[in-house]
Structure 1
């Protein structure tokens, strides 16, 4: 119980100390709000503008979630094809690498030109960013199955489908979860960056548009409030995927078992 309490207390205590130091510096140095607002002012601004920020937050969450689901579907399917056929991997893997190494902010304007629907364009940009970690993680996991177990299944004349379901998928699950946790944050980054590039405005837009509007009007506290919502969304995604990892791996895989405090 004591270890569990400390595990939760230490991060929250460090966060509170950082916010207190930020507040103290702003007050002692008398920094104007249009340069650096205090955390209390950011919190008050967030509360006052919550009604207008929540629809934009939900739009960003929707784009991020859909892009992540599409990345999971496409990444897992392609990784399975790679595991089943080396020729498919050699033919398609270079295209995946090109998508990964090309900055999304560089190709977002082209996507926005060729795709008429803004929501579809934002989804495509976020999907490109989130796709590669899932593909690489799952493909690496599928290739990391124990060779002795592969030989055993071959000895018992298991079909390729049986080998995939009973050996390769359980072996790949920790790698897939690791890629998913990376892709969750990248999907959010891709959605926000794509909307920055689009410069969209109106009611059906995300938090990036609210940040742009606040910066154009030099409403710095409101801009910080929108940034706080983006950061909290990323933390929520990370925590949710961490709970998923604990639920799927906590009973059997070393990455989620905690016999002691570690180093």
Structure 2
């Protein structure tokens, strides 16, 4: 029975996207051949694979640098965002005064504030991490605030009847309610962290420490190497999926014991 369930899960969840991907590659290859599309406009899948193989050393190093910057920026945003979310939930005055600015920070286009961070911080990995941090901060703040405020009033009254301290009320009541919301925020921020790292690298690279995926995208455009551009974009997509999957699994594993059960 267990084997059947696993097989059914594979068929229902993995097979459709694999079939769709194969169909897309076949259609793409046929379109390039039939319509004689030029390489600089849309290279064939074979040319993209060839570029990935020939540039594999640079691509893997760039992927490592981008992933590292994304993870560091995401971790900082989780720590800072959780602290701010708790503060917003604890103080309605602070929330009403500062929450609009958090929304403003989220609505500013990343391509607008990234150059400013470069001017303020300088070229290098610090600027990339700063862009990643700013872009992935808001979902953490929002979800933690919502989770903290979602605790029913009757639960607070019950804890008050038993003389619970503020710390006990937070650790035993509010935080367990917040965990599912925090996990959701981490999932959203994981994808944004990858985007932030790539955008930051597009403007600043990584200085003397190396070149990330964002800089390789810019380099491929400047050199008119479309097949390399597609290879970098594909690798960036895979990195984003990996970041989302790994952070989701880690968050749910680490924070699972705090989740409340209905």
Aligned residue in 1 for 2:145:
139
1:41 partnered with 2:47: yes
**Partner Cα separation in structure 1 for residue 192 and residue 45 of structure 2:** 26
Q: Does 1:182 find its partner at 2:191?
A: no
Are residue 205 (structure 1) and residue 201 (structure 2) matched?
A: no
The CA RMSD over aligned residues, in Å, is 2.2
Deviations 1:47-97 (A, max 9, x none): 111012221111111111110000000000111122222233233323322
- Report the equivalent of 1:259: none
Q: Which residue of 2 aligns with 1:108?
A: 114
Alpha-carbon contact 2:42-2:226 (below 8 Å) kept: yes
Equivalent-residue separation in structure 1 for 2:32 and 2:208 (angstroms):
33
Deviation at 1:144, TM superposition (A): 0.7
Q: Is the 8 A contact 1:126 1:191 kept in 2?
A: yes
Q: Deviations over 1:93-123 (max 9, x none)?
A: 2332221122221122221112135211111
Show structure 1 runs of 4+ deviating over 4 A.
199-203, 248-254
Larger helix fraction of residues:
2
Q: Distance in 1 between matches of 2:8 and 2:230?
A: 34
The separation in 1 between residues aligned to 2:220 and 2:67, in whole angstroms, is: 20
Query: Counterpart of 1:163?
Result: 169
Alignment of 1:67-106 (within 5 A): 67-106=73-112
TM-score, normalization: structure 1? Answer: 0.88
Alignment correspondent of 1:29: 35
Stretches of structure 2 that go unaligned for 5 or more consecutive residues are none
For residue 10 of structure 2, what is the aligned residue in structure 1?
Answer: 5
Aligned residues: 254
Q: Cα distance, 1:177 vs. partner?
A: 0.9
* 1:201 and 1:209 in contact (8 A); partners too: no
Answer with 225-234 or 114-123: which moved more.
Answer: 114-123
